[in-house]
Structure 1
């Protein structure tokens, strides 16, 4: 993974008011820490930082230039606006070339399983130890043609050279099971609604069927009564 270079500015103002002012200038407040150094508070260019995180994902490797000194970092915590999704603050962990770090790497499922099957992902990420400059972007897991009953464990996922699996080797990553029938889905939905106390008004068709059934019942009762009188 190649690093993305970003030029930062040191900051001396702190607090919510200062952070709002920084964001109004389309910048992002951040802090650099790690390797026993004192935290360094900086501001980053908002648009460029957003693109770097979008391209590199949660393990984007960033080369931060502060006053002409370059520092290699990984995003440790990314805070976003809950509605707009804009970057609000970054905690950046200082790393060194050749250093090994433990990170969570996404799992991407590809391919089409056999017909009438359901593919579920039990582990969307795998924890691995890798060199800071060689963190995998993702792990690809193929379910092409997989039949019901197929299970892919963490130990089955192919890792690139230099990466070591930290997740339990027996952990279930992808499970391929028989797809439920429409009747089973409807039954499960009905049970869930009943447990939640949800009641539905009868549809026109259901009301018509009910009325017809009541009519037939009344006719049968009338016939039975008439037969009894004749006797």
Structure 2
């Protein structure tokens, strides 16, 4: 069962770029919660606590707004400062216990294929349907000693109980290939390089 991370939030009444800048100067994060047909709820979250919570994949959050019942939510979109790394804004989708949600889970390769080959992945994440309390941190694919030409389809990936694949099970997730050899420079290319070097020395 996934750990639930509690975060205290405040309702937000100011909007726009100026208000967002003021919120960030106070080490807080502007956020919006939506889902289940309710009107979006605009809130501010504590900056440090939010940054820590978002370090894990698909963290299940309990958003506690003063005077209101806590609501479970999953991050749907996270905007970060590309230079300093702090969280600029978060979109949260509210969820309920017992329902299933669509999430993307990291694909992790384990082991090494046969010597002289490499494992390539079509996507670093796999989309699945799961209970918010049972979202796997990652999906592991063992490629130990697999030969060139071998492939693993989405439907062959082992999923935890209660987790369902949303994509086509026939789609290829992992392929074992022989890496392309680096082309050797031709004699003409080497001659051209020598001629260019000679011209550089003459200048």
Shift, 1:206, TM fit? 7.7
Equivalent residue number for residue 108 of structure 1: 108
Q: How does 1:198-217 map to 2 (within 5 A)?
A: 202-203=193-194
Partner residue in 2 for 1:95: 95
Runs of 4+ in 1 over 3 A off after TM superposition: 203-207
Q: Distance in 1 between matches of 2:113 and 2:197?
A: 38
Instruction: Tell me the alpha carbon deviations over residues 4-44 of structure 1, each in whole angstroms, 9 at most, x when there is no partner.
Output: 11011111111000101111111100011111222111111
8 Å CA contact retained: 1:123, 1:172: no
Larger RCO, structures 1/2 (Cα 8 Å, 6+ apart): 2
Task: Trace 1:1-231 onto structure 2 (pairs within 5 A).
Answer: 1-55=2-56, 57=57, 59-68=58-67, 69-181=69-181, 185-186=182-183, 202-203=193-194
Structure 1 alignment gaps of length 5 or more:
191-200, 208-231
Query: What is the RMSD of the two structures over their aligned residues, measured on CA atoms?
Result: 1.9
Q: Given the two structures, how large is their TM-score scaled by the length of structure 2?
A: 0.88
Distance 1:16 1:204, change over 3 A: same
**What secondary structure is seen at the aligned counterpart in 2 of 1:54?**
coil
Q: How far apart are 1:180 and its partner, in Å?
A: 2.6
Q: Is the 8 A contact 1:153 1:173 kept in 2?
A: yes
The whole-number CA distance in structure 2 between the counterparts of 1:166 and 1:108 is 18
Could you say if the C-alpha distance between residues 12 and 205 of structure 1 is closer, same or farther in structure 2, counting changes exceeding 3 Å? closer
Q: Which entry has the higher C-alpha Rg, 1 or 2?
A: 1
Structure 1 residues 162 and 85: alpha-carbon distance in aligned structure 2, compared to 1, 3 A threshold: same
Q: Distance in 1 between matches of 2:114 and 2:176?
A: 9
Q: Is the alpha carbon distance of 1:205 and 1:60 closer, same or farther for their aligned partners in structure 2, counting shifts above 3 Å?
A: same
**Residue 85 of structure 1: how far off its partner (Å):** 2.5
What does the per-residue CA deviation read over 1:20-69, in whole Å, with 9 as the maximum and x for residues that have no partner? Answer: 111111110001111122211111111111111102x2x21100100142
Structure 2 unaligned blocks of 5 or more: 186-191, 199-203
Show CA shifts across 1:102-138 (max 9, x none). 1111101111111100211112211111112111111
Distance in structure 1 (CA, Å) of the matches to 2:11 and 2:194: 66
